[in-house]
Chain A
Amino acid sequence: MPARSDVSIRGVEISYGPVRVLERLDLEIAQSEFLVLLGPSGCGKSTLLNAIAGLTDVDDGQIWIGGTNVTWHEPKDRGIAMVFQSYALYPRMTVRGNMSFGLRVAGAPKADIERRVREAAEMLRITDLLERKPSELSGGQRQRVAIGRALVRDAGVFLLDEPLSNLDAQLRAELRVEIKRLHQRLGATMIYVTHDQIEALTLADRIAVMKDRRIQQLGSPDDVYLRPANKFVATFVGSPAMGFLLGKLGTDPSAPMFEAPGVKVPLTGYAFAERPVAGQGVELGIRPEHVLHGDGDIAADVEMVEPMGSDKLAWLRIGEQPLSIRLPAETPVARGDRLHLKLPAHRLNLFDAASGQRL
């Protein structure tokens, strides 16, 4: 592996014809970091990955890998390896052929190729598949082979473009663990594109949540989950989704308060990013598992209960507004019950009702 494998994206802009796909994007990815680009389809995350790989030309800005400006280098000269959603295996070659072809064309010594293929195959437990054709493999096996083809390149940076999206749920969980283990073992920098927030939260050292050509938030999974930077991040990350109550801030500046019909929540202990404006319209967001019940003073009616195995989700109505609460599976709760809720200030997320930005 090359000595340095950090990635630096500096002011990158990309347009397809008149359509702007990425807008002055800056991103620093440290050596050996696992960075996930998370976002809905069309947010530019795959374009960014392709630009790092050198498969898409940038209109402006620079891309540095391992301390070298590679903006205009061919993909093969960037010290990267890539794994694709559709696996992109060469269908008429055996697994061994797929893994070794790039090295053979590059003129690597035979013994070297043999050794690298063997090591990668052992690491991914596909040694007994080496002489098979891709058409004879299952989806999970094909993606292992595609990862193997990336491994033999001995690259410092791995780019993974939705590698698990074509697999069923069980295989996805299995390979997710495998990829994490691989990252720990190789110590390579990994940049991973997905629209699946579970993958992002479980794999990432840091997550870059993207939407509308921009990074909306860059932070650790905890940051993104517990302190979303805006309402989009708050709704996109987390399942079951965060609940929201529309209201406004109280007028007493010494004792900040969230007010909505039937709801009064003291905000003492909430870490405001800037001084709140009295009377400002805000949205209060809280994750279902952070809603407490029992001795609170917010009355809520249970409208529906969804059992989820380990716990259950109750859909509530507070006045006119819906909210959900996550309860232990054994909690006796049924439709029509009345709960008394408490919304702890340090678990709240307040967003400006107009801009959606976190307060």
Chain B
Amino acid sequence: MKSSHINAQIALLPAILIALVVYCGTTGWTIWISFTNSRMLPSSVMVGWRNYLSLIGNERWVVSVTNLFVFGALFISAALVLGFLLAAMIDRHVRAESLFRSVFLYPFSMSFIVTGLAWRWLLDPTLGIEKLAHAIGFSWFHFDWLVRPDRVIYTLVLAAVWHAAGLVMAILLAGLRGIDGEIWKAARVDGLPVWRTYISVILPMLTGSFATATLLLATSVVRLYDLSVAMTNGGPGVASEVPAKFVMDHLFERANVGLATAAASTMLVTIVAVAAPWLYYQQRGRRT
């Protein structure tokens, strides 16, 4: 009994070591480096909060963070709403259901690089939709958000929603299919209009599915990088920069490891600040 316990611990040792070194170790090292004056290569000269202070003063970082919040809020809410509408539509027994399901889920099978490139072509005024509209005679049509600094972030939202709405649909559709058909019958006998049944009865039953979908969308917001690279490369100017891209650029191109790790650490702290209460709440909910 006792020896098998020890055997199990020995067997787990490599996994535990890897987890400690790879996750905790590198995270800790990144945080430590963010307090040094590292440029192209790591150095061990401590400079206190200097990297963080210059981060706050860095216009590109401020734009990146603002973009992240704007993008995150719009993307998550739009993908949830659109995904739910698609799922509800399919759940009401449309014809060719499996075809629609595949079509809606299809964008998700592509990488963000491909999505970004495709939408860059579509939205490019000299190549895509605008040119097509002009070619068939709608010369008044104008859509140049991709090259306008104040609008470019919304084109990122558009492409990302197109990419992810199908996934949300699939998750919510599974949730909808799990709902007992007699609930719908009871609601009809009760005289509830369909929209009212969705809002007051069905949506509250889908909180689990919505939480899953939101979590998945939130992770793709935090690691948002490739879409911005492929679609706009951060431009025009720095108008569509995002934090992950800021970190990558400073780490590998601008040879400013100190600033990059400070940015990464800031992101980590922000995520922990959001995730910790949520996880705590979930755990507590499970216990009671």
Interface residues of A (CB under 8 A from B): 50, 53-55, 74-77, 80-82, 84-93, 101-102, 105-106, 149, 153
Structural contact, B180 and A76, CB atoms closer than 8 A: no
Binds A, one of B13-21, B148-156, B188-196, B233-241: B188-196
Task: Please determine whether A91 and B191 come into contact, CB atoms closer than 8 angstroms.
Answer: no
Which of B180, B183, B186 is close to A82, meaning CB atoms less than 8 Å apart?
B186
Q: Among A85, A86, A101, which residue has its beta carbon within 8 angstroms of that of B190?
A: A101
Does B191 lie within 8 Å of A90, measured CB to CB?
no
A86 to B205, alpha carbons, bound, how many Å? 16
Known: A88-B180, A90-B201. A105 touches B190 (CB 8 A): yes
Is the beta-carbon distance between A102 and B182 smaller than 8 angstroms? no
Contact B185 A88 (CB under 8 A): yes
* Contacting pair A75 B201 (CB below 8 A): no
Count chain A CB atoms within 10 A of each CB in B183, B186, B187, B200 and give the residue with the most.
B186
B166 → A minimal CB distance (Å):
27
Interface residues of B in 49-96 (CB under 8 A from A): none
**CA separation between A187 and B126, bound complex, in Å?**
77
Taking a contact as CB atoms under 8 Å apart, the answer to whether A92 and B205 are in contact is yes
Residues from 180 to 235 in B contacting A, C-beta threshold 8 Å: 180, 182-183, 185-193, 196, 200-201, 204-205
Quick check: A82 and B185 within 8 Å, CB to CB? yes
Q: Nearest Cβ in chain B — how far from A224, in angstroms?
A: 28
Question: Which single member of A50, A77, A91, A153 contacts B205 (CB below 8 Å)?
Answer: A91
Whether B182 pairs with A76 at a CB distance below 8 angstroms is: no
Asked if residues A106 and B191 are in contact (CB atoms below 8 Å), the reply is yes
Contact present for B201 and A84 (CB under 8 Å): no
User: Can you spell out 21 A-B residue pairs with CB atoms less than 8 angstroms apart?
Assistant: A50-B185, A53-B185, A75-B188, A75-B191, A76-B191, A77-B191, A81-B189, A82-B185, A88-B185, A88-B186, A90-B186, A91-B204, A91-B205, A101-B190, A101-B200, A102-B189, A102-B192, A105-B190, A105-B191, A105-B192, A149-B186
What residues of chain A lie closer than 8 Å to B204, measured between beta carbons? 91-92
Contacts of A90 in B (CB 8 A): 183, 186-187, 200-201
Docked-complex contact B182 and A85, CB < 8 angstroms = yes
Cα A153 to Cα B188 in complex, Å, equals 13
Knowing A53-B189, A76-B191, the reply to whether A84 touches B182 (Cβ < 8 A) is yes
Establish whether residues B185 and A102, one from each chain, have CB atoms under 8 Å apart when the complex forms.
no
From A55, A84, A85, A102, B191 is in contact (CB under 8 Å) with: A102
Which are the 6 A-B pairs with shortest beta-carbon distances?
Answer: A76-B191, A102-B190, A92-B204, A88-B182, A88-B186, A84-B182
Which residue, of A77, A88, A106, has the highest number of chain B Cβ atoms within 10 A? A88
- Report the separation of the CA atoms of residues A77 and B190 in the bound assembly, to the nearest whole angstrom: 10
Q: Which of B185, B188, B192, B201 lies at the interface centre, i.e. has the most chain A CB atoms within 10 A of its CB?
A: B185
Task: Kindly identify, within residues 245 to 283 of chain B, every residue whose CB is under 8 Å from any CB belonging to chain A.
Answer: none
What A residues does B186 contact at CB under 8 A?
A: 82, 84, 88-90, 149
* Known contacts A76-B191, A92-B205, A102-B192, then 17 further A-B pairs from the complex at CB < 8 Å, ordered by chain A residue: A53-B189, A55-B188, A74-B188, A82-B185, A82-B189, A84-B185, A86-B180, A87-B182, A88-B183, A90-B200, A91-B204, A101-B192, A105-B191, A105-B193, A105-B196, A106-B191, A149-B186
